[in-house]
Amino acid sequence: MRFNRTRYLTQGIAKFLIWMAALSTIAVMILILFQILREGLPVLNLHFFLNSPKNMGREGGIFSTIIGTFALTGVAILVGAPLGVGTAIFLREYTRESKISRIIRFGTDCLAGVPSIIFGLFGFVFFVIRLNMGWSILSGGLTLAAMILPTIISTSEESIRAIPPSYREVSYSLGGTKWQTITRVILPSALPGIFTGILLSVGRSIGETAAVILTAGSSLVMPTSLVSPIRTMAVHFYILAREGISKDMAYGTGATLILLVLIINMIAQWLIGRYIRHRT
Amino acid sequence: MQFKEKIIEKTFLLIALSSISILALITFFIFEEGFPLILKIGLKAFLLGEKWIPSKGLFGIFPMIMSSFWVTFGALLLGIPLGLACTIFLSELIPPSVGILLRPAMQLLAAIPSVIYGFWGLIVLIPLIQNYLGGPGLSILAGSLVLSFMILPTIITISEDSLKALPPSYKAGALALGATHWQTIWRVLIPAAKSGIVASIILGMGRAIGETMAMIMILGNAVKMPTSFLDSARTLTTNIGIEMGYASGDHRQALFATGIVLFFIIMALNTLAIFLSRRRAH
């Protein structure tokens, strides 16, 4: 009996500690968000969103950095998504476990662990200097495309895996070619999952700083083409905060950044719950 | 028809090779830019040199290597227990009713951009450290604290996956033998998922070593050998991040060479983690 009591006492203490650890983790996260939103939300208004930074960012708003962020993210997705989805299709539909698929998986796993500053160094020497694109939307977008590739590959692969084999069998038995099966059966069924991966990548691109500052620059001039240098919201926030240019503007930019990323991630989580988890 | 399908297949193969090609390009260009400097000043002087004075051509990164390890070690000290606790919480303890609220909340940890973490450290942690522990506040301690939260998502998702992958019979068997729920978790489930959990910690370590922007904001960036957790520090990543904007010539090459060292550490950790999680799959 005594033995039993200690067993349950240990269990009680352990479970209590784990509850405390988990709840304090969430509390810290809420504290981080709350502190920045509390100072930042009052700064937000239409004037802030629709005017470009003036006087190094001390006055005005963040319009040009919003444009820069979206332009950069757009390029990253336009390039990264087809490559990622294509890789997932190849891994799932064209090859079984083989030497080539192992090499591809190894490359993807490693790429996922490469720190963003290394992507920044690479993008700087390859796109900015070697390919002579300069600090630009194009250089930054292509660098980000490389960075988000692993996320898109793994979410697309996950959602293609969840498609029941019978879908393919029916398509083939009706005389469909492989290409027809992929474009008319596989891709439409995997679309919600692929979209989730793209959303997560958008979130990551919006928040990225180290790789972007080395490849897209930090110019506050409104971009006019794909080879214009830009400053994204995250870079703007970083510069305002680090150089102590304006606390209000930093909080406002930070709050915008947080709201955007939160909304995007919530939609993604909702999609994952709805379309991916239920089928597997 | 056959011909068309062949072309399509080859196109997909080409696309699928993009990730490994990018990895190869990264390796090539970083080495091409950084390696000449290592050859010029010697590997030993570069890795073990304690002076980093670019204007005098002194490029020793030993203090930065040490700082990176101190910061990472500190982050793991808090991050591992916290990560494990959250993993057990999410996979075993969480009641379904609060689960729909707490689970997404935890996933948001991964979504917060690193500059936001850095800024929070700057405005909240650093004044706290200044007031209660003394010193400049900008310190390894602040860096480690912030990092321990930043690596949580990595640790949690991967170790939760490896717990989920266990056959249900493990848990059922242990419970049927009369073990308490906690004994089942601690003596059966965790040991069985060990290699996945270790892999998650290694990847978390990689994440900590690689973090840049948040660390620039809170480490203080002084180049010196760390002697206490309250010291200001400059890591491998922050060295690149701070000076890349204006460096040229040998100085720029030295930053790429710093990147080579960082890349080596990360690739070693990645390979180890991949090896560990493969072993789990078999």
Q: What is the DSSP string of A9-69?
A: HHHHHHHHHHHHHHHHHHHHHHHHHHHHHHHHGGG-SHHHHHS-EEGGGTEE--HHHHHHH
Confidence of residue A4 (pLDDT cuts 50, 70, 90): confident
Cβ <8 Å between B1 and A153: no
pLDDT score at A24: 93
Q: How many CB atoms lie within 10 A of CB A103?
A: 14
Residues of A in contact with B117 (CB under 8 A): 32
Instruction: Enumerate residues 6+ apart whose C-beta is below 8 A from A24.
Output: none
pLDDT score at B50: 92
pLDDT score at B281: 53
How far apart CA A276 and CA A249 sit, in angstroms, is 39
- ipTM for the predicted complex: 0.94
pLDDT score at A57: 82
Instruction: Enumerate residues 6+ apart whose C-beta is below 8 A from A227.
Output: A133, A134, A136, A137, A138
Q: Domain segments of chain B: what residues? A: 2-281
Contact A138, A68 (CB under 8 A): no
Cβ <8 Å between A207 and B237: no
* 3 state SS of B52: strand
Nearest chain A CA: its distance from B270 CA (Å):
6
Cβ <8 Å between A14 and B186: yes
Q: For chain A, what percent of residues have pLDDT higher than 90? A: 70
pLDDT at A190 over 60: yes
Nearest chain B CA: its distance from A31 CA (Å):
9
Which one of A100, A115, A121 has the shortest CB-CB distance to B266? Answer: A115
pLDDT at B60 over 90: yes
Average pLDDT over residues A132-147: 96
Average pLDDT over residues A260-272: 88
pLDDT score at A56: 82
Question: What's the whole-number average pLDDT of chain A?
Answer: 91
Contact B212, B143 (CB under 8 A): no
pLDDT by residue (tens digit) across A7-33?
889 899 999 999 999 999 999 999 999
- Chain B: residue nearest A180 by CA? B5
pLDDT score at A2: 54
Confidence of residue A280 (pLDDT cuts 50, 70, 90): very low
- Return the ∠ at Cα A91 (arms to A90 and A95), rounded to 5°: 85
Q: How many CB atoms lie within 10 A of CB B91?
A: 19
Question: Distances in Å between the alpha carbon of B204 and those of A197, B51, B207?
Answer: 21, 30, 5
Contact A197, A154 (CB under 8 A): yes
pLDDT at A157 over 50: yes
* 3 state SS of B58: strand
Cβ <8 Å between A90 and B16: yes
pLDDT by residue (tens digit) across B165-180?
999 999 999 999 989 9
Tokens describing residue B128: 């706290």
* 3 state SS of B117: helix
pLDDT by residue (tens digit) across A205-224?
999 999 999 999 998 888 99
Decide which of B278 and A133 is more confident: A133
Whose structure tokens read 């897209």?
Answer: A216
From the list B86, B157, B149, B141, the residue with the least C-alpha distance to B116 is B149
Nearest chain B CA: its distance from A176 CA (Å):
12
pLDDT score at B96: 83
Query: By the CB < 8 Å criterion, does A210 face chain B?
Result: yes
pLDDT score at B251: 95
Cβ <8 Å between A210 and B15: no
Which three-class secondary structure string do you get for A99-166? HHHHHHHHHHHHHHHCCHHHHHHHHHHHHHHHCCCCCCHHHHHHHHHHHHHHHHHHHHHHHHHCCCHH
Instruction: Enumerate residues 6+ apart whose C-beta is below 8 A from A180.
Output: A171
Tokens describing residue A128: 């900015």
Residue type for position B267: M
Question: Distances in Å between the alpha carbon of B14 and those of A108, A145, A169, B11?
Answer: 14, 17, 26, 5
Confidence of residue B107 (pLDDT cuts 50, 70, 90): confident
pLDDT at B206 over 60: yes
Give the β-pairing of B58-59 and B52-53. Answer: antiparallel
Average pLDDT over residues A172-201: 91
pLDDT by residue (tens digit) across A65-124?
999 999 999 999 999 999 999 999 999 999 878 899 999 999 999 999 999 999 999 999
Q: For chain B, what percent of residues have pLDDT higher than 90? A: 80
Contact A3, B60 (CB under 8 A): no
Average pLDDT over residues A44-72: 90
pLDDT score at A98: 86
Whose structure tokens read 């977008």?
Answer: A141
How far apart CA A16 and CA A18 sit, in angstroms, is 5
Query: Crossing angle of helices B62-88/A2-40, nearest 10°?
Result: 120
Confidence of residue B280 (pLDDT cuts 50, 70, 90): low
Question: Distances in Å between the alpha carbon of A195 and those of A62, A155, A226, B105, B152?
Answer: 28, 9, 25, 21, 25
Under DSSP, the state recorded for A196 is: H
pLDDT at B1 over 80: no
Burial B99-115 (b: 16+ CB within 10 A, else e): eeebeeebbbbbbbbbb
Structurally, what CATH architecture does the domain formed by B2-281 represent? Orthogonal Bundle (1.10)
Instruction: Enumerate residues 6+ apart whose C-beta is below 8 A from B66.
Output: B225, B226
Helices marked H in A126-277: 137-161, 165-173, 178-181, 187-207, 210-215, 233-242, 247-271
Query: By the CB < 8 Å criterion, does A48 face chain B?
Result: no
